[in-house]
Amino acid sequence: QVQPVESGGGSVQAGGSLRLSCVVSGATGTSACMGWFRQAPGKEREGVALIDGRRAPNYADSAMGRFTISRDNSKNTLYLEMNSLKPEDTAMYYCAAKSFVGCSRTDLSRPDFRYWGRGTQVTVSA
């Protein structure tokens, strides 16, 4: 049973930083696509960043230059380093993973992930 579990969310002021972690128990493959998504109240879920170990990470325009996605396969852990946070980054952040499949070009906008975590809340105050 594969179950992603996120942590690291919290409340910060604008300009601050947070590091999210996601431990993915169970086997998914060291090159399987993993990603971060977020959903703010009243808004649709949106992709933030993807990584699969074969290509360079893929970022949403809103995350480019401020967020960094990485993974430590020895710890089965996915990370999202978030800097220069803005109030519009406030959302529930979700980790997602595929099973032995890499990322596709459409995964940020139309995610096709088998496993999802329950989320960790990020709140950025002005």
**Each residue's pLDDT tens digit, 69-115:** 999 999 999 999 999 999 999 999 999 999 999 999 899 999 999 99
Q: How does the average pLDDT of the chain come out, rounded?
A: 94
Dist. CA 49–CA 69, nearest whole Å: 6
pLDDT exceeds 90 at position 53 = no
Percent of the chain whose predicted confidence (pLDDT) is above 70: 100
More reliable by pLDDT, 109 or 28? 109
Model pLDDT, residue 2? 87
